[in-house]
Amino acid sequence: MPQFFENPSDYKKITEIAYLNADSNHIRYRMIMRYFFVQHERMRDFIYPEDILTFMETQHVKDYTIERLTQDLKQLVAWKNISESYEVKNPRTIEEFNRRNSRYQILPISVEIERMMLTLERQGDTFKGSLDVRLFEKFYRILADFIESELDNQQLLDAWEEVVLRFKVVRETTADYMAYLSSDDAEFGTQKLKLLEFKEKFIRYLRDFILGSHQMAAKIRQLLEEKESIQQRIVRLSSVPDFIPRFETDILNPEQKLKEAQEIFQSIHDWFIDHPQHLAEYTLLNQRTDEMIRKITRAIRDIGEERSRRSSRKKDYLHMAKWFHHCEDIGKAHQLSATVFGVEHPRHYWTGEVATSDIYGDIWQQEPSVYYLKGRIREYRESTKNASFTLKRAEKDKLMREYESQQRKLLALLDTFIIDGQIQPGKHALIPKEIRRIFLKWFAQGILSNEGVFTNEFGHRLKLERLKETAVLESDDGVLEIENFKFSLLAQGETNEKQ
């Protein structure tokens, strides 16, 4: 059977495990299947409904009748967990045939499912595993025997099986242990007090593993570097008819056997020897073990500090009482108390940021900070004083004259754009940006005013007329394309209707 299916449609839905996660009645289904499995392990293949009903009654299943049992058995038959057969002993009439006895047998795939469930139940929710240097020693011996010893075909086959088996044990035990180190259980938590009891033994256990595994790993790496010898042994094995690279596969093609064996040895190589892109699993194992030793050390230190905080300070206080007894006066006693226990009535002061970054500067050399206290009552208001002001009439008159002069110049410049009582910006080749801003402001005023009539800042009455075509207003700072428009000057007192 190949390791992967060539056709993705071969990865079909497994209906045989439906009884494990059934929406309803999954408890009854699992109890029935566990009964079938136990009887199968006891060499009893065929089970009668009466036996199952008796078992369910012993498990204190309430209101469980033969009708419900029949429905459950039919559902398990539909899921292909069990098969149904009939026991008929020489029926002579149709009535006797209808009263034939049904019996059921668990199917092979259901047996494997129950075995898997037993394994999961025994394992529990926590990771297990161990770090035993003897596993590496055994793996090294069998690997050296496979690569370097003179073996016939049968001995080579046996050595191969032992290599695969030993590597599987090393990989699984260390993988489970690394998973444990990464789990919450490795944080000790409430087990910190128990940690003190076996701390030395545990740390010694980890250190012995590191030292021993370093020696064995170096020898294993040296063996794995003999690639030519390994390749010769694998090629020789692939030509042996009885050779099976992995126990759970059935490969008959020598080329497939060779490829499968090479991939297995490459996995062994990558497990012990670092790759340029990633670290080997053995390297990660050592890093995790070192981290665990540091974690234990920190936990022990925390426990020691916690115990010291909880321990009695009677001797310390008696020794301190002698200090107070030898004080010359009450002032010295107050100073000693402030040093040991802190100031009795401390005061907190607010200060601004330090003006210097000199770490050697003295606090007495710094400028004092000023903090204004405010009242804490609800009706508090800051007091204000009437401040005098100076009339700067001369400066104000000067600014006014300058403003009037600018306005006269601007008005004189605007007069140059008036042609026959109208201003049409689109007809002028170049418009100063100050004049363009005024035209755009008038354009906005005309749009917002009633019938386009408005009074500008110079006291002139204007009427906006929006034309159909577009106009281009060119200035020193750029070109603006806008809807064409013009302004008509209205005489004082002239109404819109007259226009």
Whether residues 84 and 201 fall in one domain: no
Distance from C-alpha of 32 to C-alpha of 74, rounded to nearest angstrom: 12
Same domain, 106 and 146: no
Note whether 172 and 295 are same-domain residues: yes
For residue 184, pLDDT beyond 60: no
For residue 41, being part of any structural domain is answered with yes
In this prediction, residue 319 carries a pLDDT of 92
In whole angstroms, what is the distance from residue 269 CA to residue 290 CA? 23
| 327 pLDDT tier (thresholds 50, 70, 90) | very high
Angle at 357 between CA 351 and CA 359, to 5 degrees: 95
Euclidean distance between CA atoms 291 and 297, whole angstroms: 10
**Among the ranges 106-115, 124-133, 227-236, 409-418, which has the highest mean pLDDT value?**
106-115
Asked, for residue 275, whether it belongs to a domain, the answer is: yes
Task: Examine residue 154 and state whether it is found in any structural domain, yes or no.
Answer: yes
Residue 99 has pLDDT above 60, yes or no: no
Average pLDDT over residues 196-215: 71
Both 266 and 158 in one domain: the answer is: yes
Mean pLDDT (the chain, rounded): 81
Judge whether 382 lies within some domain: no
Last residue of a domain, one of 244, 279, 302: 302
pLDDT score for 94 = 61
Statement to judge: residues 100 and 217 lie in one domain? no
Residues 139 and 270 in one domain: yes
162 and 274 part of one domain: yes
Same domain, 284 and 168: yes
pLDDT at 334 exceeding the cut of 80: yes
Domain holding 27: CATH number? 1.10.10.10
Question: Which of 69, 103, 122 is where one domain is finished?
Answer: 122
Q: What is the pLDDT of residues 227-262, one digit of tens each?
A: 888 888 888 888 877 777 664 455 567 788 888 888
How much of the chain, in percent, has pLDDT values that exceed 90? 14
- 233 burial level (CB within 10 Å; 0-12, 13-18, 19+): buried
User: Is 44 within the bounds of a domain?
Assistant: yes
Give domain status of residue 398, yes or no.
no
Residue 485: name the closest of 423, 430, 421 by CA: 423
Q: Residue 54 falls within a domain, yes or no?
A: yes
pLDDT tens-place string over residues 134-162: 888 888 898 898 888 888 888 888 888 88
Distance in angstroms (rounded) separating the CA atoms of residues 403 and 204: 94
What range does the domain containing 338 cover? 312-344
The lowest-confidence range among 98-112, 113-127, 274-288 is 113-127
241 and 130, same domain (yes or no): yes
List, for residues 460-499, the tens digit of each pLDDT value: 888 999 888 888 888 888 888 888 999 998 876 555 444 4
Q: Which positions ≥6 away from 323 have C-beta within 8 Å?
A: 336
131 plus 240 within the same structural domain: yes
CA-to-CA distance for 124 and 130, rounded, in angstroms?
16
Same domain, 178 and 83: no
Count of the separate structural domains present in the chain = 4
Q: Which residues pair with 470 in a beta bridge?
A: 483
| pLDDT beyond 50 at 1 | no
Same domain, 189 and 232: yes
**pLDDT band (50, 70, 90) for residue 85:** confident
Report how far residue 335's alpha carbon sits from residue 327's, in angstroms, rounded to the nearest whole number: 10
Is residue 228 situated within a structural domain? yes
DSSP annotation of 277:
S
pTM: 0.43
Query: Residue 86 contacts by C-beta under 8 Å, 6 or more apart in sequence?
Result: 100, 101, 102, 103
